[in-house]
Amino acid sequence: MQDGVDGRQTPAAPTFSVVVPVYNEGEGLLEFHGRLSRVMGALGEPWEVVYVNDGSRDDSLSVLEGLHSDDPACALVNLSRNFGKEIAMTAGLDHSRGAAVVIIDADLQDPPEVIPELVKAWRQGWDMAYAQRRVRAGESWLKRVTADAFYRTMQRVGRVRLPRNTGDFRLMSRRAVDALLQLREHHRFMKGLFAWVGFPSVAVPYDRAPRYAGRTSFNYWKLWNFALEGITSFTVMPLKVATYLGLATALVALVYGGQIILRTLLFGNPVPGYPSLMAVLLFLGGAQLMTLGVMGEYLGRVFNETKRRPLYLVERYAPSRPRPPLRAAPARRAHAEGESARY
Ligand code: UDP
Ligand code: MG
């Protein structure tokens, strides 16, 4: 896990690192790599791509091994099993060495052709250039509506502002990456962590394409849990809501109790109805269970964080290989000086 962190300082560090989490993408990888290489090559500066194989169960690993042996720009991080996209991205960032790092999906939903625009923003001095979807092609009506509701909720209750219609596709400066990598929590809601880092950020609009091949691994149950993760990682609002819900219920019960006492005093012998008893009982039981559940969500996360396990295990790391000396050396030096001045 540490090699990427040490390697980052070596003079051979490329200008750009592209981090790609890969899970069962064997079918589309060659096409992806071809398009990425064309785009990155045209930028005219040294670059590497860090493929993180997140425990794929198809032939992704062998395709990536082939790419690694054919193309010196390819680095390969093979995780010991499937850890999920958030952690796979973190592993990639840990092993990236570039002065600017791009995160992109392997399924070609994030078109590599947008990268030069992200790079342009970085050259203008932005630390974070996030690609913002103009349209969501190939996504269902339900997904659009739920995503919209989620962003709206997060914006209201969370302390950090999440940019709308933004995924993980973005470019980060080295200092933003280093800041992000200091956050080692297990429940990684990356969109929130990106926003937490702050630094000057800018949106670059683009059109999201449908998947090139394969199937999405995110179903609605996973998305729901993802939303839950986002909310519990960035706000304790649900706990507060539970408090006030309890308070409100107690108040209502007090008023209702007073009314019963009053009625008993005034009219005597009132047999309180079984239905109202049942209604109150069930309501209180439900409210209590729900509150316990909310507390459980937080407690479970505290439990997971206190175990302090490593975020992931690397089965194998094969770094990219430095390229022969560059012709564009003077231009690059000027750029590097500009960089250090900014830090
Ligand atoms: N991915 C991953 N680990 C996982 C699931 C997905 O590394 O457990 C990768 C996947 O290979 C792809 C990216 O994360 O590069 C986005 O996944 P997907 O296309 O399934 O998500 P969606 O675009 O539907 O949000
Ligand atoms: Mg996708």
- Which pLDDT tens digit goes with each residue over 121-142? 999 999 999 998 876 556 678 8
The model carries a pTM of 0.73
Q: Does residue 25 have its Cβ closer than 6 Å to ligand 1?
A: yes
Cα 175–323–181 angle (5° rounding)?
Answer: 20
Amino acid at 93: L
The answer to whether the CB of 158 is under 6 A from ligand 1 is: no
Give me the pLDDT at residue 272, please: 61
Sign of the Cα torsion 280, 285, 290, 295 reads: positive
- Residue 331 pLDDT exceeds 70: no
Give me ligand 1 centre to Cα 77, in Å: 16
Q: How long a stretch of residues is the chain?
A: 343
User: Does 174 score more than 60 pLDDT?
Assistant: yes
Centre of ligand 2 from the C-alpha of residue 139, in Å: 10
Give, to the nearest 10 degrees, the angle between helix 29-42 and helix 115-123: 40
Report whether pLDDT(101) > 90. yes
Residue of 78, 107, 140 with the most ligand 1 atoms within 8 Å of its CB, for mutation: 107
For residue 128 the two structure tokens come to 């974070």
Ligand in closest contact with the CA of 79:
1
The strand pairing partners of 76, in sequence order, are: 51, 318
pLDDT band at 327 (very low <50, low <70, confident <90, very high): low
Closest C-alpha residue for ligand 1 atom 5: 85
The closest residue, in CA terms, to atom 22 on ligand 1 is 216
Angle between helix axes 274-306 and 237-267 (nearest 10 degrees) is 160
Q: Specify the residue with its C-alpha closest to ligand 1, atom 14.
A: 85
pLDDT tens digits along 186-234: 888 888 888 888 889 898 988 877 766 666 666 778 788 878 888 887 7
Cβ–ligand 1 contact at 155 (below 6 Å): no
Rg of the Cα atoms in the chain: 26
The angle formed by the CA atoms of residues 215, 219 and 223, to the nearest 5 degrees, is 130
How high is the pLDDT of residue 338? 40
Structure tokens at 324: 């022969």
| Ligand 1 pocket member 220 (CB < 6 A) | no
Quick one: which ligand is closest to 222's CA? 1
Contact 190 CB / ligand 1 (< 6 Å): no
- 304 Cα: distance to centroid of ligand 1 (angstroms): 23
Ligand 2 centre from 107 Cα, in Å?
Answer: 6
Residue 147 is predicted with a pLDDT of 79
Query: SS3 for 307?
Result: coil
Residue 107 has pLDDT above 60, yes or no: yes
Are the beta carbons of 218 and 226 closer than 8 angstroms?
yes
Q: Is the model's pLDDT at 155 over the cut of 50?
A: yes
